[in-house]
Amino acid sequence: MRSATPWSDVISYLVEATGETLYMVGVSTVIATVLGVPVGVWLQLTAKGGLRPNTAVHRVLGFVTDLGRSMPFIVLLVALTSVTRLIVGGSIGSTAVIVPLAVGAIPFVGRLVQNILSEVHVTVVEAAITTGASTLKIVRSVLIRESLPALINAIGVTVIALIGYSAMAGVIGGGGLGDLAIREGYQRFNDRVLWSTVAWLAVLTTVIQLGFTRAARAADRRRHASV
Amino acid sequence: MITVENLTKSFQGVNALNGVTLDVESGTVLGVVGPSGAGKSTLARCVALLERPDSGAIRVDGTDITSLDGSALRAARRQIGVVPQGDSLLRQRTAAGNVALPLESAGVPGPQRRTRVGELLDLVGLTDKATAYPDQLSGGQRQRIAVARALAANPSVLLADEPTSALDPETTGSVLTVLDRARAELGVTVLVVTHDMGVVRKICDDVAVLEQGRVVEHGKVLDLVGNAGSRTSSALLPAVDLNPINESAYDRVADVVLVGFAAVGALLPEAAHRFGVELNIVGGGLTRLGETPVARFRLGLNGERSDSALEWIGEAGGAVQRSLKGPQGVAA
Ligand SMILES: Nc1ncnc2c1ncn2[C@@H]1O[C@H](COP(=O)(O)OP(=O)(O)OP(=O)(O)O)[C@@H](O)[C@H]1O
Ligand SMILES: [Mg+2]
C-alpha cells in the first residue's frame, strides 16, 4: 500500500485527461454531425410520405444505419484499426480513437435526426412545397430550421454518449478521463484518482448537458419573442 | 382562367374524383362545396399540385399544369397561392418571415422582399403583428397570415381548402374579408373549398357542388338561386314554408325569387298595381348573397289577373318557381 497521490498530481492527471477526452469527443462530434445530419435528412427524404420517397434507398440506408448502431463500440474500436491507420496514419492515441467514435456516432445521429425531422407536420411541409421552394430550400428552411432546438438537444445527447464510448479509448492508448479512471484509479487501486475522476465526469457531463439545453432554448424562437 | 377538365383520381380503388370539369373566370371566386368524402380536398390538392391526377387536365391561362416536373413545376406552383387546411405556418419564423417564404423560393432580393411583405401584411390587416410568432397569434390571425403568404409571390390563382373550418363566426368573417380583398384589390382568381354554405353566401360568385367525385351543380350563385330544384337555392335562400297558410284565402299561391335591389324593392308593388291584384307575402324572406339582396317569397294573390301578374313578374326578372295553387308551370 503506497501513500495517496498528492492532490496536485490528481489535478494535473485530470487536466490532461480532460483535454484528451474533449479532443476525441469534440472532433468526433463535429464529424458525426457533419455526416450524420445528411444521413438523417436522406433517411427522412426517402421515407414514405417524405419529399423524395424511395423505398429501396430508404431500406438499404436504414439497414446500414441500424447495423452501425447495433455494433458494440469496443468491437468497432478494434475492427476499424486498419481503416484508422489509413486515415490518421496510426492506430494508437487520441487521434486514432476519433475514427471509430465518429463512425459509431454517424448512424446514431442519423436515426436521431430522422426521428426529429419526421415530427415536422406534413401541412407545414406541404405549404412550403406549394410556395415553389426547392427540396434543398425545404430541408434547410423548414425541416432543419423548424426542428433546430430538438436537433441541438440531439447533438448534446450524442456528446454525452460519446464521452461514455471514449472511456474505452484506453484499449488503443487513446487516454482520456475514462482511461484515467480505469487504468490509474481502478487497476492500481488508486481510490483518490478513481473518485475524483468520477466526480469530475459528473460535473463535466452536467455542464455540457446544461450548455446544450441552453443553446436549444436560445434557438427556439417561439418562447422568447416579444408580442 | 382556371379550367379543370375531366379530372379523375383514385386511391386504392376509391374513386375520389370521377371526371370533374369546372372553370373559374378570371377575377371571380368559386366555392367548391359538397358532403364529406365528396372529393373536395382531393380536387384542391390536385390544383395545388400536391397530388397528380390519374387523368384529365388543369389549365391555368390555357396551359396544362398537371404533367410538369422540376423547375417548371416549381414555377407553376408559384402561380398558384395555396392556403392549406389547418396550421401550416413555420412556428420558428415570425409572421413577416412566413409571408416572405414564397419570395425566398422565387429568389426575390431582400429589400424588395421586405417591401412586398409589408404590403401583404397591410392587405390582411396585420401590420402590427409582423414580428409576432405564430404561437402568439389567434387562429384567425394565423389564417390571415397564411393568406398573405399564399399571395406573396403574386399568383394569379388563390386556392384555399377549408380556410374557415375551426374558426368562430366573427373570425370567419375576417378571413373571408381578406379573401374577398385579394380578389378585389389584386384581381386574383379564387377557388375556395368549404363545407360551409355561409362562405358561398358571403364571397362566392360561382359555386360547384361535388358529390361522390362528380360535379352535380355548377354555375353562378345568383343564377342557381333562381332555380327551384337547385341545391344552392335550398341551401342559401330563406325557407318559404315555415308557417302553414290558408290557401283557400287566395286565388293563386306561388313562390318567387327576386335578385338585386331593384327587383326586391319594386317588382311586387308594381305588379300589384299594374294588374290590379291583391298581392300578399305569406312566407319567406330576404337575405344577402355577397352585396346583392336576394328574396324568396311565397306570394298569395287575389284577383282576376293573378296569372298575368305572375307572368309579368317572371318576365321582369323575378323567378316564379311554382304555382302551388292554380295552373302549374308558370315560370320565368
Ligand atoms: N390519400 C388518400 N388515400 C386513400 N384514400 C383517400 C386519400 N385521400 C382521399 N381519399 C378518399 O377519397 C375520397 C375523397 O376524399 P376527400 O378528402 O377529397 O373528401 P372531402 O370532400 O375533402 O371530404 P371532407 O369534407 O370530409 O374533407 C374519400 O373517400 C377518401 O377516403
Ligand atoms: Mg376535405
What is the DSSP-derived secondary structure letter of residue B3?
A: E
Cα–ligand 1 centroid distance for B40 (angstroms): 8
Express each pLDDT in A127-164 by its tens digit: 999 999 999 999 999 999 999 999 999 999 999 999 98
The average pLDDT across A99-114 equals: 94
CATH number for position B243: 3.30.70.260
How far off is chain A from B66, nearest CA to CA, in Å?
A: 14
* HEC string for B39-76: CHHHHHHHHCCCCCCCEEEEEECCEECCCCCHHHHHHH
Nearest protein CA to atom 30 of ligand 1, as residue: B37
Contacts of A225 in chain B (CB under 8 A): 94, 131-133, 136
CA distance A167 to A175: 8
Element (H, E) at A112: helix A94-117
Picking from B91, B93, B101, the nearest residue to A131 by CB comes out as: B101
CA distance B274 to B202: 35
Residues B55 and B163 both lie in one domain: yes
The average pLDDT across A84-105 equals: 87
Interface check for B276 against chain A (CB to CB < 8 A): the answer is no
Cell 374513386 belongs to residue: B15
Element (H, E) at B296: strand B292-302
CA distance A61 to A42: 8
* All residues at 6 or more sequence positions from A224 whose CB lies less than 8 Å from its CB, including other chains: A217
Nearest protein CA to atom 29 of ligand 1, as residue: B37
Residues B174 and B80 both lie in one domain: yes
The answer to whether B150 and B178 have CB atoms below 8 angstroms apart is no
Residues B146 and B165 both lie in one domain: yes
Cell 381578406 belongs to residue: B178
* All residues at 6 or more sequence positions from B314 whose CB lies less than 8 Å from its CB, including other chains: B320, B330, B331, B332
Residues B219 and B149 both lie in one domain: yes
Among all bound ligands, the one having the nearest atom to the CA of B12 is 1
For β-strands B29-33 and B206-211, DSSP reports them as parallel
Average pLDDT of every residue of chain A: 90
Q: Does ligand 1 have an atom closer than 6 angstroms to the CB of B195?
A: yes
- Tally the domains of chain B: 2
The answer to whether B27 and B201 have CB atoms below 8 angstroms apart is no
The x, y and z cell numbers of residue A187, run together, are 487497476
Mutate to test the interface with B, among A125, A131, A143 (most CBs of B within 10 A): A131
Interface check for A126 against chain B (CB to CB < 8 A): the answer is yes
Query: Is this model's pTM higher than 0.80 or not?
Result: yes
Burial of A227 (0-12, 13-18, 19+ CB in 10 A): exposed
Express each pLDDT in A11-41 by its tens digit: 888 899 999 999 999 999 999 999 999 999 9
Interface check for B132 against chain A (CB to CB < 8 A): the answer is yes
Contacts of A51 in chain B (CB under 8 A): none
The answer to whether A14 and A200 have CB atoms below 8 angstroms apart is yes
Picking from A126, A146, A225, the nearest residue to B90 by CB comes out as: A146
Burial of A35 (0-12, 13-18, 19+ CB in 10 A): middle
What was the pLDDT predicted at B81?
Answer: 95
Q: Give the model's confidence band at A188: pLDDT under 50 very low, under 70 low, under 90 confident, else very high.
A: confident
Q: Does ligand 1 have an atom closer than 6 angstroms to the CB of B71?
A: no
Domain with B128, as residue range(s), is: 2-233
* All residues at 6 or more sequence positions from A107 whose CB lies less than 8 Å from its CB, including other chains: A36, A39, A64, A65, A66, A67, A68, A69
CA distance A105 to B68: 40
Q: Does ligand 1 have an atom closer than 6 angstroms to the CB of B232?
A: no
CA distance A124 to A126: 5
What was the pLDDT predicted at B3?
Answer: 94
Say yes or no for a CB contact (<8 Å) between B92 and A221: yes
On whether the A7-219 domain is CATH 1.10.3720.10, my answer is yes
Is the pLDDT at A227 greater than 80? The verdict is: no
- Using the atom order of ligand 1, give the atom closest to the CA of residue B35: 25
Residues B193 and B283 both lie in one domain: no
The answer to whether B104 and B181 have CB atoms below 8 angstroms apart is no
Q: Which residues pair with B9 in a beta bridge?
A: B17
Nearest protein CA to atom 5 of ligand 1, as residue: B11
CA distance B46 to B185: 26
What is the DSSP-derived secondary structure letter of residue B238?
A: P
Residues B100 and B246 both lie in one domain: no
Cα–ligand 1 centroid distance for B139 (angstroms): 24
Residues of chain B with pLDDT under 70: 322-332
ipTM of the complex: 0.86
Mutate to test the interface with A, among B93, B101, B128 (most CBs of A within 10 A): B101
CA distance B178 to B143: 10
Q: What are phi and psi of B57, to 5 degrees?
A: -135, 150
Residues B202 and B74 both lie in one domain: yes
Q: Which residue has the higher pLDDT, B289 or A173?
A: B289
Residues B46 and B75 both lie in one domain: yes
Picking from A126, A142, A222, the nearest residue to B135 by CB comes out as: A222
Is the pLDDT at A225 greater than 50? The verdict is: no
Choose one of B206, B233, B260: the last residue of a domain.
Answer: B233
CATH number for position B62: 3.40.50.300
What was the pLDDT predicted at B326?
Answer: 62
What was the pLDDT predicted at B332?
Answer: 37
What was the pLDDT predicted at B330?
Answer: 42
The average pLDDT across A97-122 equals: 94
Residues B279 and B161 both lie in one domain: no
Residues B22 and B170 both lie in one domain: yes
Q: What is the SS3 assignment for B231?
A: helix
Residues B226 and B253 both lie in one domain: no
CA distance B88 to B142: 9
Picking from B50, B94, B132, the nearest residue to A129 by CB comes out as: B50
Residues B100 and B136 both lie in one domain: yes
Q: Does ligand 1 have an atom closer than 6 angstroms to the CB of B34?
A: yes
What was the pLDDT predicted at B160?
Answer: 95
Interface check for B89 against chain A (CB to CB < 8 A): the answer is yes
Nearest protein CA to atom 7 of ligand 1, as residue: B11
The x, y and z cell numbers of residue A152, run together, are 441541438
Residue in chain A lying closest to B76 (CA): A132
How far off is chain A from B171, nearest CA to CA, in Å?
A: 20
* All residues at 6 or more sequence positions from B318 whose CB lies less than 8 Å from its CB, including other chains: B256, B257, B258, B263, B267, B332
The answer to whether B101 and B84 have CB atoms below 8 angstroms apart is no
Residue in chain B lying closest to A142 (CA): B90
CA distance A32 to B194: 48
Choose one of B233, B258, B293: the last residue of a domain.
Answer: B233
| Long-range contacts from B225-231, C-beta under 8 angstroms, 24+ separation | B225/B257, B225/B259, B225/B289, B225/B294, B225/B296, B226/B257, B226/B259, B226/B319, B226/B321, B226/B332, B227/B319, B228/B255, B228/B319, B228/B321, B228/B322
